[in-house]
Each structure stands twice: as structure tokens, then as C-alpha cells.
Amino acid sequence: MRYLKKITGLSSLFLFIITVSIAFVILFTPLYYFSVWLHELPAQLNMSFQALIDNYHILLRYLHFPWVTELNMPDFPSSESGLFHFWEVKLLFYLNYAVLIISLIGSFFYARALKKNRRIWTLQKPFFIASLVPPLLLMFLAINFDRMFLLFHEIFFNNDDWLFNPATDPIILA
């Protein structure tokens, strides 16, 4: 039983760290602002910076809020398959947030039990091993981003709706 609690607790901690990291990246809008500036998207798309950001915020509202049920970006028309893909992305966001909340609860109780029993030190080895994952992942991304991007989409989507055509889904250019 102690081993099962340890595995469940560590799993909760790792899931929490992963999902909170994903949520941070999703919600960290300055990252997109920087990308727009770095890649000179306003000039490439013949749009103002503000128009790009306004459309981006419309997309984020759609992806994050259950009461926003339609995606209608004023400067980016979307095909049916593009809209379906964004709906699937919305579901993945909700799944991430659900796992984040559940793992937060599990992590809280596990960390509290470790602290109470003065066993926080037992996290040292698992966290050291886990700390090796981000550099390895970044290395694979740096070596072959396109393959990692394709692999991600092959794992999480069971269709080809994520293969946007710039003529029907110009959002892919932004």
C-alpha cells in the first residue's frame, strides 16, 4: 500500500508540473507577441500588429471559455475542418486543465503527507531524473522540430484537420 501511495503521489506531482507548464505556455501571451515581432508577421500578412493580437485574443477566448461556442476571427476566415480542429484543441485545453486541478489536489495531499512524516527528501531522486527530461526534449525539438510537431499531432488528433490550407485557413500563416 505504501508503494502504491508513493507511485500515485509522484504521478500526481509530475502530472501537475507538466500540466501547469502547458497552461503557463498557453496563457503566456507575451510569447506570441514576441513571435509576431520576431517573424515580422504584420509586414508579411499586410496587417497591423494590433489586428493580429485582436484575432489572437479572440482565438484564446474561444479556446478557454466554454460559453464561447463559435470561433469567428474578423481577419481570418476558417474552413469547417479548421473550425473542427480548433474545437478539438479546445477539448485538449479542457483536458489539460482538468488534469491540472486533479493532480494539484493529489499533489497537495502527497506533499503534506511527506512533510508531516519528514520525508520530503525522498523527492530528490525522482525530481533529479525528471529534470533531465526538459533538456532532452529541447534537444529533440532543436534537432528535428518538424518531426516532433508531426508526431505530436499524430498522437493527439485522429484526423488530418490540423493540416491547414493557407487559402482556406489563413490563420496558419499567423
pLDDT in tens, 109-140: 999 999 998 988 988 988 888 888 888 888 88
**Average pLDDT of the chain to the nearest whole number:** 92
pLDDT of residue 146: 87
pLDDT band for position 42 (cuts 50, 70, 90): very high
Q: What is the pTM of this model?
A: 0.87
Among candidate residues 12, 10, 14, 22, the one with its CA nearest the CA of residue 97:
22
* In the chain, where the domains are located: 2-173
